[in-house]
């Protein structure tokens, strides 16, 4: 009897645990996910699809703007904020140690992970037709211009 009670209690405790974090700002990992979550705003093309930085060849996978979003509840309902993210993803891991990242000459509100760079845009910042990304280190300086794509994807409702 004690074993059965223990198993039932353990089951209920484990069923309450979830990987979904609510009320925490999120960003998508690619354009497909952004469109799927209906937070996609627009995509960008770059003047350099591949570049060398600190001796490592890197390819830009995607670049886009999306609404900053969060899960409202454990049912995965999404809430959009008044802020946007400009996101650039790369094909390989990037070591950003000792690297200055500038977007349109500004180093504020820029985040990074191993495969991406993102910049928070507040609701007063207009979505620009061109965005400049600069990567600066002691060895290298790379400047990449992103141009907004005007065509909308027919695959997803925006």
- Euclidean distance between CA atoms 127 and 148, whole angstroms: 9
Tell me the pLDDT tens digit for each residue of 99-128: 899 999 988 889 888 889 999 887 777 789
Average pLDDT for the chain: 83
| pLDDT at residue 14, rounded to an integer | 46
- Percent of the chain scoring above 70 in pLDDT: 81
Half-sphere exposure in the Cβ direction for 28 (13 Å, CA): 24
**R_g of the chain, CA atoms, integer Å:** 20
pLDDT of residue 150: 84
To which residue do tokens 């074993």 refer? 3
Query: What value does the mean pLDDT take over residues 47-61?
Result: 92
Helix (H, G, I), strand (E, B) or coil at 115: coil
Which position has the higher pLDDT, 139 or 155? 139
pTM: 0.79
Q: Assess contact for 103 and 120: CB atoms under 8 A.
A: no
Would you kindly state where each structural domain of the chain is located, as residue ranges? Answer: 20-148
């Amino acid at each position: 009897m004690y074993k059965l009670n223990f198993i039932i209690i353990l089951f209920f405790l484990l069923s309450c645990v979830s990987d979904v974090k609510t009320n925490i700002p999120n960003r998508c990992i690619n354009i497909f996910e952004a469109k799927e979550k209906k937070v996609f705003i627009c995509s960008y093309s770059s003047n350099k699809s591949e570049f060398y930085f600190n001796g490592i060849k890197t390819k830009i996978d995607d670049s886009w703007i999306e609404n900053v979003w969060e899960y409202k509840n454990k049912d995965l309902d999404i809430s959009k904020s008044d802020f946007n993210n400009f996101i650039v993803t790369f094909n390989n891991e990037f070591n950003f140690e000792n690297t200055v990242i500038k977007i349109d000459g500004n180093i504020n509100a820029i985040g990074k992970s191993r495969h991406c760079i993102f910049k928070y845009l507040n609701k007063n910042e207009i979505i620009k037709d061109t965005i400049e990304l600069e990567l600066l280190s002691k060895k290298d300086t790379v400047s990449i211009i992103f141009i907004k794509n005007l065509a909308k994807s027919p695959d997803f409702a925006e």
